[in-house]
Structure 1
């Protein structure tokens, strides 16, 4: 018997909350949306929290001389203010992208110049055929088949020249780093 009574009480509360939302929800949503400058996600959160507080306080209908609508608007306003204060109290949130981009944008020009000199010297250590294969493939952004047609050699030759060129470059640059 107790279970049935509590189930009907829950359903009447749910019905009252739904009716409250249907009656005051659109106006409350617009009010909160204006306060939040158009942020629909935060508006929905504040609206939900306002309705949750109405439900937990059993303030689902006008009673005891208290009108629900002004109380709901006051609760929503206070929630917006609290959220704003909380956000101001914390450090500004940043994603990883901007500061990582700033770090990479601040490449030291001298370091860049030195790196280009080292790479240029490493390229000079290659045979002319290896340099030509790298130029025709990697630097010209061509496939090995396209490079083979441009160079007039078989595709397998281009592949092997690129392979040995990259292997020699790696070894030369490792020696430079160790020195």
Structure 2
């Protein structure tokens, strides 16, 4: 039996469940191992290979989530900051949400992997999370999900209703531009040019009034163009104005890898910025600086300034 064709979608499923790309890959490997060991007991009359693998993956995820704290972003932990000069002290004790590197796997449903939705999923109890993703995203029938979770169809339907009710504040994802949307590309390209020119007024003109800027693993976030602009001025004062940015995608959203100048004359990978673009304006920028997160995007650590 060949399970490899399902690896990408299983990684995406486990990522939605756990909010961690690293853990998702590990759990899919565990799923594949369990499936291989149980291959002689697989009954094709009961379920397809894909449905059977999701049953195993769901059990693996639910076990992994037992006793786990949810993975948040800074904006889910408290009020926004009002001092862009606040020290940027990482909180290494918080299991931060991680981005999903789109280039690593060919996943069909990327709209359902947007950061805002994955963050919202983390607020749900684990079984509600599983039912919502299996039914709404992956389009399994209620009967299939009941079999995967060893429960009944009425129980699945009831759990789905509770999960939907809990996510009513997520908003309409249809208004959010995807990474390959021409309008979104134009906005992010303009942001790239303004950033490389260290032009703060030009950056601010691309932002929505209530824009959110957050920077895990720093438990600090800002709201509004005034604070955003003040923080960017601080960045250029501290790290210089000689930056290079590279386009990529994460969670089905446009993203930029930012390289800051170093004393040796080259540029070193500084951060990954994941943008939410709505109505032709940037409404959120999540800036990831954790080296472990950056490694998942297979980016060069160092590029020449020439």
Same structural fold, with TM-score higher than 0.5 when normalized by the shorter chain: no
> Relative CO higher for 1 or 2, CA cutoff 8 Å, sep ≥ 6?
2
Q: Normalized against structure 1, the TM-score is what? A: 0.34
Q: Which has the larger radius of gyration?
A: 1
Q: Normalized against structure 2, the TM-score is what? A: 0.21
Q: Which has the higher strand share?
A: 2
Q: Which has the higher helix share?
A: 1
